[in-house]
Amino acid sequence: MKTLKPRRPHGRWIYYILYEDILWPCPVKWEWEENFEAWLPFYYSPTLEFVAGDPAKAIKVTRPQTPGLQPKRLEYA
């Protein structure tokens, strides 16, 4: 019987790596790995290699919620 895999982590994720004394934010693409039976974060490194990262070090990007700031709405005349 086919085993069900958990849902892919939703939202935008960033993986930060230190390369040549610069902290690089690398966008993450989650891919299912059968060997680990888990979603692993893959990212393009500054050297343009597609690398698998540690899931515990991937950071979810959230939109900052500023109090008192209303979302922009279109007004019609």
Q: How high is the pLDDT of residue 1?
A: 62
| The one-letter amino acid at 49 | E
At 40 the three-state DSSP class reads: strand
- Token representation of residue 38: 């888990």
Cα distance between residue 66 and residue 22, in whole Å: 29
User: What is the pTM for the complete model shown?
Assistant: 0.66
* pLDDT the model gives residue 76: 56
**pLDDT of the residue at 29:** 92
Per-residue pLDDT tens, the chain, 77 aa: give them: 677 888 998 899 999 988 899 998 989 999 999 888 899 999 988 788 888 888 888 889 887 766 666 655 555 55
Q: Show the CA angle centred on residue 11, arms to residues 45 and 42, nearest 5°.
A: 25
